[in-house]
Homo-oligomer: A and B are copies of this chain.
Amino acid sequence: MDETDWALLAHLQENSRLSLRELSRRVHLSAPAVAERVRRLEESGVITGYHAAVDLEAAGRPVVAFIRMSCYGSHCVLRDPDVPSWPEIQEIHRVTGDACSLLKVATGSMAGFERLIDRLAPYGQPSSTLVLSTPLARRPVIPEP
């Protein structure tokens, strides 16, 4: 992870469809050298993938929320292997505190959100917080100061 690696990482976080040759011009290296560095960043697990970012509202899911689940003992959502495949659930985090998990969800309507809450309720007490807007959706990871 030298300076060049961080520069490549910054460019790929900002636009992952840049060609390797364009990257090579930006970091003043040859294309094969850049290909090798990017391959190592992938293999070492620093880069876990390349993903198109989708606007949830434009994609028909305007209702976005965070739900903190306080589960009933062994009934935890974290233990049910089916839950991660529910299409409304965007992220699942296991967290500290009085809740056992924090979910980010996106539904097409309030009615759909209500149905999701009903499906989650058997696992524990859901505490919902609707997202009004997202002033900062993603920050590129940069080297520590």
Contact = CB atoms under 8 A, between A and B. Distances in A.
Interface residues of A, number: 60
Q: How many copies does the complex hold?
A: 2
A32 interface: no
A118 B123 CA distance: 36
A138 interface: yes
A102 B65 CA distance: 11
Contacts of A119: none
Given A51-B138, A144-B108, A94 B13 contact: no
Interface of A: 1, 9, 12-17, 44-56, 58-61, 66, 78, 84, 87, 89-97, 99, 102, 106, 108, 112, 129-145
